[in-house]
């Protein structure tokens, strides 16, 4: 895989050694997460909206209600910043100053394209579903024509993009290593709990394996 070319806007300047520009790293982070934050500006007012996404190659898809101000604004060519973050652990140092977090993040800049082709739109909706819960699309009812009309899908090409990663333990000042304070990393992981069946179900169905064995 070739690397993304960092630009003045995506070059990591603060702790540049944490910056990553290879597609393998960027794609892996995007595939591990499913929640992004979309930043945009309307009449001078910044907004940051959390939403789900899906990825196909070097394209990230966003979707939502056709009445969404965010999607309506972005479909008009408004510049957008989309971020994805995974938290892997709390880094506990001997001093308050050197506490940190182990994380993997991606920042994407660009202009989104309104998806109007019905086939691409349906494929994007499949991607959203499968990205959050792999195996689900083949079991559920697919969107109707009316539901497709009520849904807006945007495509954001991965052109200006960079990743930033921190891993490892705390880095203290040399004199602080002798302090009687526990230091290290508390790993964090998102784990599913016991599924709760919908009480409105008409017929009991066995719990699908893709839910029972769900993991990111």
Tokens of 215: 């993991």
Q: How far is CA 125 from CA 47, 60, 95, 155, in A?
A: 24, 12, 47, 12
Instruction: Identify the DSSP state of 140.
Output: S
Residue 1: the pLDDT is: 60
Could you tell me which residues are beta bridge partners of residue 106? 84, 163
User: Is residue 89 a contact partner of residue 100, using CB atoms and an 8 Å limit?
Assistant: no
Residue 186: the pLDDT is: 98
| Count of CB atoms situated within 10 Å of the CB of 108 | 24
Question: What are the extents of the domains in the chain?
Answer: 16-212
| Count of CB atoms situated within 10 Å of the CB of 3 | 12
Low-confidence spans in the chain with pLDDT less than 70: 1
Taking the mean position of all CA atoms in its chain, how far away is CA 207? 27
- Whose CA is closest to 53, among 61, 42, 45? 61
Residue 191: the pLDDT is: 92
Task: Please give the backbone phi and psi of residue 126, each rounded to the nearest 5 degrees, phi first.
Answer: -65, -40
Q: What is the dihedral of CA 165, 168, 172, 177, to 10 degrees?
A: 180
pLDDT in tens, 140-157: 999 999 999 999 999 999
Instruction: Tell me which CATH code domain 16-212 carries.
Output: 2.30.110.10
Specify burial of residue 161 (Cβ count, 10 A radius: 0-12, 13-18, 19+).
Answer: buried
User: Is residue 106 a contact partner of residue 12, using CB atoms and an 8 Å limit?
Assistant: no
- Whose CA is closest to 151, among 75, 203, 78? 75
Element (H, E) at 133: none
| Count of CB atoms situated within 10 Å of the CB of 38 | 23
Rounded distance between C-alpha atoms, residue 74 and residue 78, angstroms? 5
- Whose CA is closest to 27, among 71, 72, 57? 57
């Amino acid at each position: 895989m070739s690397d993304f070319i960092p630009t003045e806007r995506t070059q990591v300047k603060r702790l540049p050694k944490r910056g990553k520009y290879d597609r393998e790293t960027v794609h892996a982070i995007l595939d591990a997460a499913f929640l992004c934050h979309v930043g945009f500006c309307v009449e001078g007012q910044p907004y940051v909206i959390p939403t789900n996404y899906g990825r196909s190659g070097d394209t990230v898809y966003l979707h939502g209600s056709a009445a969404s101000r965010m999607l309506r604004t972005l479909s008009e060519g408004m510049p957008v910043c989309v971020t994805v973050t995974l938290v892997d652990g709390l880094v506990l140092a001997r001093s308050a100053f050197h506490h940190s977090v182990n994380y993997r993040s991606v920042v994407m800049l660009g202009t989104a394209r309104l998806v109007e082709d019905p086939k691409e739109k349906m494929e994007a909706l499949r991607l959203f579903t499968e990205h959050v819960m792999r195996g689900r699309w083949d079991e559920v009812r697919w969107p109707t024509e009316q539901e497709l009309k009520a849904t807006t899908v945007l495509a954001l090409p991965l052109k200006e993009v960079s990743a930033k990663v921190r891993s490892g333990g705390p880095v203290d000042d040399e004199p602080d290593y002798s302090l009687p304070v526990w230091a290290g990393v508390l790993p964090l992981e998102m784990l599913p709990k016991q599924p709760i069946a919908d009480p409105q179900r008409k017929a009991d169905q066995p719990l699908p394996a893709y839910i029972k064995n769900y993991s990111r």
